Amino acid sequence: MARRPKITNQQILDAARQVFLQKGFGGSTLEIAQRAGISEASIFKRFATKEELFFAAMGIPDQPLWIKELDSLSGKGDIKQNLIQVCCQILEFYREIMPLLMMLRSRGNVLPEIVPKSEPKPIQDLKILTGFLEYEIKLGRLRPCEPKTVAHILLGSLMNYVFLEQMLPPVTMLTSESVATTSGSSGLSIDESTFIQSLVEIIWQGIAPIHLTP
C-alpha cells in the first residue's frame, strides 16, 4: 500500500492562513486539518497550541526584529541613535502586521484568547522596551525618568503613525517638504525618517543625561 505523501509544515500553515483569514481565530483546527488533508491530531504534533499555529500562519513573529536588536544595543554605542534605529524597526514591524490585524478585525476575532498567566503581545513589547530604558538609566546613559511612560509614548506614537498611514491616502501623510519617491539610507521615506528623528528628539529633551543636556 502506497504511503500518503508527507504534509509539510508550510502546507499546514498555508491551510491555516486561509481559514484564519476567512473566519478569524474562530476558525477551527478541524477545518484546517481537512484543508491540509491530515488529521487534527497531526496538527498538534507540529504546533503545541492553536495560538502558536495562528501566529505562525499569520506571519506574526514571536520575537520581532526590533526586540532582538535591543539585546545587541543595550549599553552600547550612541543611545540616541540607537533609539532612532529601533524606532525605525518598530515602525516597519507595525506596518507589516497592522493591515493584517485590520483585515482580521473585519472577520471577527482578531487575536487568540490569551491563555492564563500570559500577557498580550503589546504588553510584552511595552515591558521589553521599558526594560531596555531602565537598563540604560541604571548605566547612567539616560536621565532618571519614568521609563514606562517613555516606552508608551514611543510605541503609541509609532503605532498611531502607521494607523493613519493605513486609514488615509498616501498623499495625506506627506509634508510639503517631502518627496514621495525619495528614500533615505534606511529605506524609509524622508517623511518617515523625519517623523522618527523628531519624535526621538522631543523625547530626548527629557531623558538625555544631565551632562549632555544643552
Which pLDDT value is given to residue 98? 82
Looking at this protein, which amino acid is placed at residue 163? F
Q: What share of the chain is helix, strand, coil (3-state, %, to 5)?
A: 65, 0, 35
Q: Where are the domains of the chain?
A: 9-57, 65-212
Q: Which fold has domain 65-212?
A: Tetracycline Repressor; domain 2 (1.10.357)
Per-residue model confidence as pLDDT tens for the chain (214 residues): 445 568 889 999 999 988 888 887 788 899 999 999 999 999 999 998 888 898 888 877 777 889 988 989 999 999 999 999 999 999 999 988 887 777 766 665 556 654 445 677 788 889 999 999 999 999 999 999 999 999 999 999 999 999 888 887 655 555 544 444 444 444 445 588 999 999 999 999 999 998 654 5
Highest CATH level, class, for 9-57: mainly alpha
Look at phi and psi of residue 142 and say left if phi exceeds 0, alpha if psi is from -120 to 50, else beta. beta
Which pLDDT value is given to residue 178? 46
Which pLDDT value is given to residue 113? 54
Q: Are 211 and 98 in contact (CB under 8 A)?
A: no
